[in-house]
Structures are given as C-alpha cells and as structure tokens.
Chains A and B, each alone.
Chain A
Amino acid sequence: KAGVTQTPRYLIKTRGQQVTLSCSPISGHRSVSWYQQTPGQGLQFLFEYFSETQRNKGNFPGRFSGRQFSNSRSEMNVSTLELGDSALYLCASSSGTSDHNEQFFGPGTRLTVL
C-alpha cells in the first residue's frame, strides 16, 4: 500500500506571494490533517478534513486555508506569505472514523519564505 505523498517537497517563495501544497492520503483513508512544524513552536495543528468537510481548525490566521476533494486528496493554501510562515508542513492520513485513529504522515513540504 502506498504511503502518504506530499508535493512539492521544497518550495521557495517571497513575501506576499501565495502557495498551494498538496497531500494524497493512504488509499482508503478519508481523513487528512495538516500540521506546521517550526523550531520555535514545534508541531502545531492547522486543520483536519474528512469527506470534504473541515471538522476542526487550529489557531491560525485566515491566510491559511484548505480543502479536500472527493478522492480524499487535500490541498492547503497560504496567501500573502510572511517570513514566519517558513516551516515544514506535514500532512497526516487516517481512517477518520474516530478521534483516536492511528495517524500516518507524509514526508512534508519544506517552505522557505524570503
């Protein structure tokens, strides 16, 4: 079974631009979660989607948004990039049937904002 895939793996953008990251979950999984990892703040929850519906959103500004498609693939978008958005963005896949399903992570997208 293929694992979680994320594209692109690396991105370099400048302040003010926008970026879209993609995540494809494990086949059969319907839940995708997104996390931001920075050296100072650790792993922070962004949002979770299940069957195209956002079930939870973390404490991030509205510049961070996401969506999920009918095939469970998910995208997250960050608009008007700031230097502080430089981070590793990780997505996680699970069956989504309960709050405590095991989660599996993709390799991450490393975003650098200049």
Chain B
Amino acid sequence: GIQVEQSPPDLILQEGANSTLRCNFSDSVNNLQWFHQNPWGQLINLFYIPSGTKQNGRLSATTVATERYSLLYISSSQTTDSGVYFCAVPGGNYQLIWGAGTKLIIKP
C-alpha cells in the first residue's frame, strides 16, 4: 500500500522564524491533507491540496503530484503554531494513510 513519510520528525525554532515541513508519498494520489494537532489532541484542517499551491495567512502549502511530495510553509512562527503537523493521503477504500508527523516547538 501507499506509504507516507514526513520530515523532519522534530523541529525547534524561535518565534518569528520560518519553517518548511515535507511530506513524501510513494504513489500517485487524488488528495492530500495537512493537519495541525494541538496539545489537546484536536486535528485542525490546514489544507486540502491534491496539487498546486494554496495560502492561508502565514501558512502555505505546495503539492507536486508528479514528484510525489508536498511542502508546508510556516512564516513568522508564533508559539501557538506549536504542535504536531500531519499529512495524510487516501489509501483506498475510504481510509487515510498518515505520516508520522513533524513535532514543532516554537520558543518565545
């Protein structure tokens, strides 16, 4: 089945810094979602991005479907950006296949 890999596994930054998170997937996909999991466990939808580039405030994402990767950019990081960032792709039969996540810590 399809495999999803995220990098880096951990990232520690100072407030105000920029960051790039990567998601590689092993097969072609019709969809890719980025989520932010806050410290209370809630998964927050960031982007639904099968291809191309989308922006939402300080966050943007780019998926290059032909090369099987997606990037999540966070600019001017804030402490509230801390948490775990997941990417997920459809694995067939209505299930999502998840990466292991990138744990982001933003220090004040």
Interface residues of A (CB under 8 A from B): 31, 33, 35, 37, 42-43, 45, 48, 50, 55-56, 58, 88, 90, 92, 96, 98-105, 107-108, 110
Contact = CB atoms under 8 A, between A and B. Distances in A.
Contacts of A90: 41, 43
Contacts of B30: 98-100
B28 to A, nearest CB: 12
B95 interface: yes
Interface of A is mostly: strand
B96 interface: yes
Contacts, number: 61
Given A37-B41, A56-B94, 14 more contacts: A31-B94, A33-B95, A42-B101, A45-B96, A48-B94, A58-B95, A99-B30, A99-B93, A99-B94, A100-B90, A101-B31, A102-B33, A102-B48, A105-B43
Given A42-B98, A56-B95, A99-B94, A107 B41 contact: yes
Interface of B: 29-31, 33, 35, 40-43, 45, 48, 50, 86, 88, 90-96, 98, 100-101
A102 B34 CA distance: 10
Nearest to A89: B41
B42 A104 contact: no
Contacts of A102: 31, 33, 45, 48
